Amino acid sequence: MDRANSTGNGIGLSASSRGLWGMLIMGLRVKIGRVGRSIQCFTENRTDRLFRRIWGGMTRTGQRLINASGDTMGGLMTKFAARDNNKHSDLALDAVLAKVREGLRLSCEDGLVLYETPDIWSVLGAANSVRRRLHGNVAWYNVNRHLNYTNVCALSCHFCAFHRKRGDDGAYEYTIDEVREEAKKAAAAGATEMHVVGGLHPWHPFEFYTDMLRVIREEAPRVHIKAFTAVEIVHLAKISKRGRDGADGIRSVLEELRAAGLGSLPGGGAEVFDDRIHDEVFKGKIRGDAWMDVHRIAHELGIHTNATMLYGHVEGRMERLRHMELLRSQQDATLLAWAGQQGIATENSQVVLSGPDERYPNLRLPTVDTCDTGYYQTCIPLPFIPDDSKLERLYGPTGLENMRTLAIARLMLDNIPHMKTFWIMQTLPASQLMLEMGGADDIDGTVVWYDITKVEGEGTHQEVTVQDLHRVMRESGLEPAERDTLYRRVTRNDAEWSTC
C-alpha cells in the first residue's frame, strides 16, 4: 500500500458532501463539493441567510444558531416534539405518535405511516424525543481508524464499487507488516478502536486473519479491534474447513479470532434481509438468516456487535421495515434475561427500552458490565451510494429520505440502545442534523482512511478532528461525549486516555 503519511491528528478535513440543504429542503439529489467546504459554510453568511430563510429568523450567536426567542435548532425540535403530541398536520399519525409517547412497540405498518406522511417534522420530533429519553443531551463519538485491508473479493455484488479481482486496476492488499504500521499509527493518534474489514480474499489463509489481529494487538494493545463482518466470518469458517460445521464452525472461528485479539463485530454486510433483494443485488453473499446466525452466536459468546441496513437501492420501504423488525426480534430474545433482572416489564417477550422513564426501575439500557451476553449495541443505516457500482443508473436516497430512515429506525428499533450516523456516507452536515433533530445519538468517528465508499471524485483520506465533532455537537446544543467501542465514556489527559 502506498499511502501518504497521516499522523491521524486530524488537521485535514477532506471528505466530500452531498449538498445537504438542497437535499433536505427540496428532496433533490444535489451534490455540492466537499465536507470541508460544507463545514466552512456553517461559518459563512450564505448558510446564515439560508437558515434565516428556512427557519424564519434563525441567527447566529457565537457557534450557535438561535431564533428571536433564544431557541437553538435542537430546542425548536424539542418544541416540535412536544407540539406533535397534539398538533401535527397528518391525522394518520395520531395512533403512531400516541404509541411512541406511551412507549409501545411500533409495527411495520406503523413504520409505513411514518414513511408516507408528508409531516416529516413530526417523525423527526418523535425520534428526537425517543433519543432524548435514551441519552438525554449526550452525543457520542469515538476516535477511530478504519482499515480496509484488501479490496480483492471473490464476490462481485452489484451495489459495491469497492471490490476488485487480483491484478485489476486499483486492486490492493495490505501485508501483515503494513497492518502493523497502521496499528502503530492508530495507537500514536490516540485511537480507541480499529475497525477492520475487507473483501473476501480468495487466497489468504485463515492464519492471515489471526496474524492481522495479533500484530494489531502487539502494536496497539489498548486499541479495541472491531473486525470482520458476518460475511467475512462465514468465509473464514469455509477457508478453515469449518464451513460444514454450521453453528459450531462459526463458534470456533469466533473463539479463535477472539483469542487472537478480536473485540467485537461491526455491523456490515447485512444489506437488506430479503431474499428477493439478495438475489438481485448481492447474490453470492450470505442471506439475512445466516448473517443473523453469526451475530446470535457472537452474542452467546459475549461478543458485542452492531447492525447496518443498506437502503436506497432496489428495496422498498416495507423491506427496510421488515429488516428492522428482524433485528428487533433477535434483540428481544438476546435481552430478555437481562430485562428480567432489571425489572423491566416484557409483555409478549418484547423488550422495549424507549418508553417513558417510569418503566425502568433500574437500568434503562444494557451495558457491558451488567449484561452477560453480547447484544446489538447500535444500528447504522447506510444510504446507498451508486457511484461506480453496477447500479450507477440508480439515484440513491435523497437527504430527506436519509433523515426519515434514520428517524424511523430510531423509532422501530426500540431495543437497540444507540443509533449511529456514519458521516462518511451521510456527510457531516447531514449527520449534524441527524444528531440534533433526527434520532441519532452517535457518530462514527474520526476515521482517516475509508475505501469502501467514497463520494464522487474524492480520495480515500476522509478525516474529521475531535474539534470538528465537538463543534458539530455543541452548535446543536448537545454535549459531546467520547466513548470506546463498548460505549464506555472515555476521558483524556493529554495523550493518555481511560474509560469509566
Instruction: Give the binding site for ligand V47 (CB under 6 A).
Output: 159-161, 229, 266-269, 271, 306, 308, 310, 380, 382, 384-385, 389, 422, 425, 444, 452-453
C-beta of 173 vs 444, nearer to ligand V47: 444
What 3-state DSSP class applies to 480?
Answer: strand
Q: In sequence order, which residues have a C-beta less than 8 Å from that of residue 268 and are 6 or more positions away?
A: 197, 229, 231, 308
111 or 266: whose CB is closer to ligand V47?
266
Minimum CB–partner distance for residue 264 and ligand V47 (Å): 8
Select 31 or 99, whichever has its Cβ closest to ligand V47. 31
Q: Which is nearer to ligand V47, 148 or 476 (CB)?
A: 148
Cis peptide before 445 (omega within 30 of 0): yes
Nearer to ligand V47, 81 or 440 (CB): 440
What is the smallest separation between the CB atom of 296 and ligand V47, expressed in angstroms? Answer: 16
CA neighbor of 106 nearest in space, from 434, 325, 381, 330: 325
Which amino acid, 193? E
For the bound state, the minimum distance from the C-beta of residue 58 to ligand V47, rounded and expressed in Å, comes to: 31
Question: Nearest 10 degrees: CA dihedral of 349, 355, 361, 367?
Answer: 80
Interatomic CA distance for residues 456 and 70, integer angstroms: 39
In the complex, the smallest distance separating the C-beta of residue 27 from ligand V47, rounded to whole angstroms, is: 19
Residue nearest ligand V47 by beta-carbon distance = 268
What's the min distance (Å) between Cβ of 268 and ligand V47? 3
**Which residue, 360 or 422, has its beta carbon nearer to ligand V47?**
422
CB of 360 to ligand V47, least distance (A): 26
Give me the helices (H) in 168-271, please. 176-188, 206-219, 230-239, 246-260
Contact criterion met (CB below 8 Å) for 323 and 387: no
Report helix angle 399-412 to 428-437, nearest 10: 40
How far apart are alpha carbons 468 and 326 in whole angstroms?
A: 35
CA 238 to chain centre: 28
Strands 442-444 and 447-449: unpaired
Smallest distance from the beta carbon of 231 to ligand V47, in angstroms? Answer: 7
128 versus 306: smaller Cβ distance to ligand V47: 306
